[in-house]
Each structure stands twice: as structure tokens, then as C-alpha cells.
Amino acid sequence: MPVPGAEQLARWREEALAAPPTRGFGRALSSGPRPRIIAEFKRASPSKGVLGGALDPAGQARAYEAGGAVAMSVLTEEAYFQGSAADLRAARSACSLPVIRKDFLLHDWEIPQSRCWGADAVLLIAAALPAVRLARMLELCQEYGLDALVEVHTEEEARLVAPLRPALIGINNRDLLSFRVELEVTRRLLPLLPDESVKVSESGFENSEQLALFPEVDAFLIGETLVRTEEPQACLRRLRGH
């Protein structure tokens, strides 16, 4: 994505600071009956190719809310996931769920941009952000009223992130380089995370039995299982044990 000009940056900052309060992504992940599910909308992935290229984000959002999801994740990365700001806006407009912008965010200006796009939260990936840069991005999220889900995958990343005391920490069970998925990654990393952080496990969950293996986890992010099914509402209810 090209770096925006000074005029565009100024508009984003002004609009983001004046935006109404978000829907409370972090609050949704830490209250209400378990298992709490963040339902993801994505059209494609680097490992699986096109998943649901013709899916309607608004229709999917309504199904997710009816199925009992507590929040929604929308991919906005274009090259590998075929996502867009339009997908995020359409999904959020169609439901009352808080929505996280899932992308590879690297720059300060992407935080106010995300707020202007309608995001209630953003994903910050520890593997892509040195500790000093990650701390800066977290400060900006606070400044602009966004929640931030900090993602880790290795013990080293978990130890580097822990001193920052993020309110929300996600454990990605999928290796971003090999695309291999292991649910045991969550089990290994949970003891390394701050007690007060809300803990999210991401990727690899297909049934309620798997979710039940991790009672310490506050919320689960589930994507491919939901975008591949023709009945996302019913699928969510099964995942939640209903």
C-alpha cells in the first residue's frame, strides 16, 4: 500500500480523534458465556488459496451474529487474502459485533486509518514488529481509542511481548512461514503470558471438542471452518455446543 500524503494523513488523524467510541472488542472477549468465538471473514489465504471469493461480508456478518459470535475479524490485506477496507465496512455495517481489522500493520498511519475504516480493534503481529515499534503502535491504539490484539507464535515472541502487558494477546497456532498448524502451540505459550491479559487462540479449530481442551483461553478466532461452510450460523452454534 503506498504511503499516504500529508493531507490524507491529517484527515485520517482528525477523523479518527473525532470518531465515536468503538464497540468494545476487548470487552466482548472477556465477558459472557464461553466458548467465545471471534468469527473471521476472509476470501483467501496463502496456504489454501481462494476460500470464499464470492462471499458477501454483510451476509456473513449477519450469520455470525445470529450464530452467537462475540466479535468479528475481517481481513483487509489485498495481495494474499483478497481483502479490502470495503469488506470491513460492509461487515461492520451489517451487524452490531465489534470488528477487528486483520492485516500486517507496520506503520503509525495505519492506526488512524483503521479507525477511519470503522475498525474497533487491530491486529499487531509480534513477528513483524520489533519490540520498540510494537510498543509505539500500542500507544497509538490507545491514543485513537482502538483495542489491539498482539499476536505471538513462539516462546521467544511471548517473552518479548509479556513485559508490555498487552490487554489482549493472541496465540497463532499457525506458523506464518511454513503454514503448519499445531494446537499445542497454545498450550506451550499460555503459561508465558501475563495473568491479566485476555488470551485468544487463533487457527486450527474445527469442532467444540477442540475448544473444550483449552478452558484457560478467553476467546477463539475461527476462520476457515466458517467461510468454507454453507451454513455459518449453524456451524457457529455447533462450535459453541448448542
What does 176-227 look like in DSSP terms, one character per residue?
TTT--B-THHHHHHGGGS-TTSEEEEES---SHHHHHT-TT-SEEEE-HHHH
Which residues make beta-bridge pairs with 149?
Answer: 123, 168
Contact 222, 39 (CB under 8 A): yes
pLDDT attached to residue 226: 94
Residue 242: pLDDT band (50, 70, 90) is confident
pLDDT attached to residue 53: 57
| Residue 104 pLDDT exceeds 60 | yes
Catalytic residue numbers, as ranges: 40, 42, 102, 151, 172, 202-203
pLDDT tens, residue by residue, 152-164 = 999 999 999 999 9
pLDDT tens, residue by residue, 19-55 = 999 999 999 999 999 999 999 999 988 777 787 657 8
| pTM of the shown model | 0.96
Domain assignments of the chain as residue spans, ordered by start: 22-239
Query: Grid coordinates in use for 189?
Result: 505459550
DSSP 166: -
Averaged pLDDT of the chain = 95
Arithmetic mean of pLDDT, 130-155: 97
Distances (CA, A) of 124 to 136, 141, 172, 209: 11, 10, 12, 29
| Continuous segment of H or E residues that includes residue 57 | helix 57-67
CATH, domain range 22-239: 3.20.20.70
Query: Grid coordinates in use for 145?
Result: 481509542
In whole angstroms, give the CA distance from residue 17 to residue 221: 28
Residue 195: pLDDT band (50, 70, 90) is very high
Residue 67: pLDDT band (50, 70, 90) is very high
Among residues 109, 204, 218, 242, which one has the least CA distance to residue 167?
218
Residue 2: pLDDT band (50, 70, 90) is confident
